[in-house]
Chain A
Amino acid sequence: MSSTPLLQVDAIDASIGVINILHGVSLSVSSGELVTVIGANGAGKTTLLRVISNLLKPSVGLVQFDGAPTTAVEAHRLARRGLIHVPQGRQIVPTLSVLDNLIIGAERSEIVDSETLVENLEREYSRFPVLRERKDLAAGSLSGGEQQMLAVSRALMMRPKLLMLDEPSLGLAPQIVKTILNALRQLADEGLAVLLVEQVAMAALSVADNAHVLRNGEIALSGTASELRRDKALVESYLG
């Protein structure tokens, strides 16, 4: 783990319309670290990720990525700099093929020569072999789990420095959730910074290094994932 965090969120407040969603939220993620933010529905998890990727401006506070403030940088430029946000619902393009979805990711990270592209595709096909089998099918025809695998692989085709995922377990069978979370753990072990937002607390805590519990837009509890896992009752009381 490097000493300077790749992502630094300092005391941010954020509102949607007149409703204040986040209050003084701070956290950091370093390369090689998997941080999870857990919280109930409506706690502000999605809003937090939207602020980090600059889809929503914070009313107060500062977000820094790779040593520079993000506020003045448009979302698509942040993505090209390696801040990759996989939104809730996966958002794969249903009318394009699995391969085209993967290529979209590669194109924006300027993987232009065909050799590098093939290398990157091979890496993702070996991570999730089902994507190779389905590569020519319309992405919309994949199952929910396969779509989530595609969303993760597409994000990795963009050569992320920080990978943020918004509830990847949503609507998936426990076995598939496990496959995806294990893949995230492996990526963090390989040096990637991962910020995982989840509602399924124990599953997320089982792979994370550090964790924060978000409640009503505030960080209610923070600690290492193993500490929080030991205090299951306390965590669940915060999740309501």
Chain B
Amino acid sequence: MLDTYLQILVSGLAMGAIYTLTAKGLFIAHLATHKLNFGQGDFLMVGAFLSMSLIIAGIPVLLAALLVLIALGLLGWGLERLVIRPLDRFGISGGSTYSWILTTAGVALILQNIAELVWGKSSHYSPPLFSEGRDNVIEIAGINMFVEEILVIGFAAVVVAFFYYMLFRTRWGRAVYTVAFNPEAAMLLGINVRRTVVLVFVLASLLAGISGILVGPLITIHPHIGLMFTIKALAVAAIGGFSNPLGILIGGVLFGVAEAFSNYYDSAFGDLYPLIFVLVFLVFRPSGLFSEAQADVR
């Protein structure tokens, strides 16, 4: 029994790592621009499909990952230039304060339809990234665990650490926090606000791409998986109060583990319970795991 629980825990941690990465993309865009990409999950879906096709075509995993990241970086750049920035010109008077919700959701729909045209409506299985087969297991402390899951957790941890380093230890990270505080004050400090914001959307898109590459071998891929990932990433980001990277990390891991156990006990409605839990949680703590006063907890 303990073996089963530990296996479920590892599966939950692996999915939790994916949700954390996807939610980090939402967090960084929200931090810098107070906007969200409602197509974040669909960017993940594109990343998963591209990665699958390239690996199946025989391209080595590392090169395939690099190509996927280049494509996703361009997608993030295009999103900011074509879908987010033009709205700023209209300002509040144009009634566009929340127009980005519609435009980013519109991009999500376009991506879903393109994916249907290219890969069809049916589900696909992505080859494993790190081992010979999807079901490869290794024995750790007498318990069999999936190699893919263990390595997904390890890789996601490296990406999260790198993300933290970028945000809190680099010139770019300080620029993001300055732009987040006040774009005009940032300009007066010599910060190129537009370039900083473009880079934010590129990074958010890369995080979705990495999530897509990693999640491919763990699930079945189809053109409409994006919405579910967007909803779950939003739930995870809400647990973290959107402004707190540590809260998002904890939220992502908890959500993944809770989902794995709830699916074990109820395979029909397993996805539902963690979302209900988040709803109830937000009733009691609407500003997330850490209150606004501790928004800078790292």
Contact = CB atoms under 8 A, between A and B. Distances in A.
A53 B185 CA distance: 11
A59 interface: no
Given A76-B192, A79-B187, A84-B188, A104 B175 contact: yes
A53 B189 contact: no
B177 A108 contact: no
A212 interface: no
Contacts of B193: 76
A51 to B, nearest CB: 13
7 contacts: A79-B187, A79-B190, A84-B188, A93-B178, A94-B181, A108-B189, A108-B190
Q: What is the interface residue range for chain B against chain A?
A: 10 to 19
Contacts of A108: 189-191
Contacts of B191: 76, 104, 108
A15 interface: no
Contacts of B185: 87, 91, 93
A138 B295 CA distance: 12
A75 B187 contact: yes
Interface of A: 53, 55, 74-77, 79-80, 84-87, 91, 93-96, 100, 103-105, 107-109, 138, 154, 158
Contacts of A95: 177, 181, 295-296
A77 B195 CA distance: 13
A93 B187 contact: no
Contacts of B174: 93, 96, 100, 103-104, 107
Q: Taking each of A74, A80, A84, A93, which has the highest tally of chain B beta carbons within 10 Å of its own beta carbon?
A: A93
Given A76-B193, A96-B174, A100-B174, A53 B188 contact: yes
Contact of B190 (A55, A80, A87): A80
Closest 6 A-B residue pairs measured CB to CB?
A108-B190, A91-B185, A79-B190, A75-B187, A80-B190, A95-B296
A151 to B, nearest CB: 10
Contacts of B184: 55, 87
B298 to A, nearest CB: 10
A108 B181 CA distance: 17
Contacts of B295: 95
B189 A55 contact: no
Given A95-B296, A138-B296, A105 B189 contact: yes
Contact of A93 (B171, B177, B190): B177
Given A79-B188, A91-B181, A107-B174, 10 more contacts: A55-B187, A76-B187, A77-B190, A87-B185, A87-B188, A93-B177, A96-B177, A104-B191, A105-B189, A138-B296
B296 A79 contact: no
A76 B181 contact: no
B131 interface: no
B188 A107 contact: no
B178 A158 contact: no
B182 interface: yes
A86 B296 CA distance: 25
Contacts of A105: 189
A85 B190 CA distance: 10
Contacts of A76: 186-193
A154 B174 CA distance: 14
Q: Taking each of A80, A85, A108, which has the highest tally of chain B beta carbons within 10 Å of its own beta carbon?
A: A108
B190 A109 contact: yes
Given A95-B295, A107-B171, A79 B189 contact: yes
B178 A104 contact: yes
Contacts of B186: 76
Interface in B148-194: 171, 174-175, 177-178, 181-182, 184-193
Given A100-B174, A107-B171, A91 B182 contact: yes
Contacts of A94: 181
Contacts of A100: 174
A91 B190 CA distance: 14
Interface string B38-79: 000000000000000000000000000000000000000000
Q: Taking each of A76, A77, A138, which has the highest tally of chain B beta carbons within 10 Å of its own beta carbon?
A: A76
A93 B189 CA distance: 11
Contacts of B187: 55, 74-76, 79
Contacts of B192: 74, 76
A184 B191 CA distance: 24
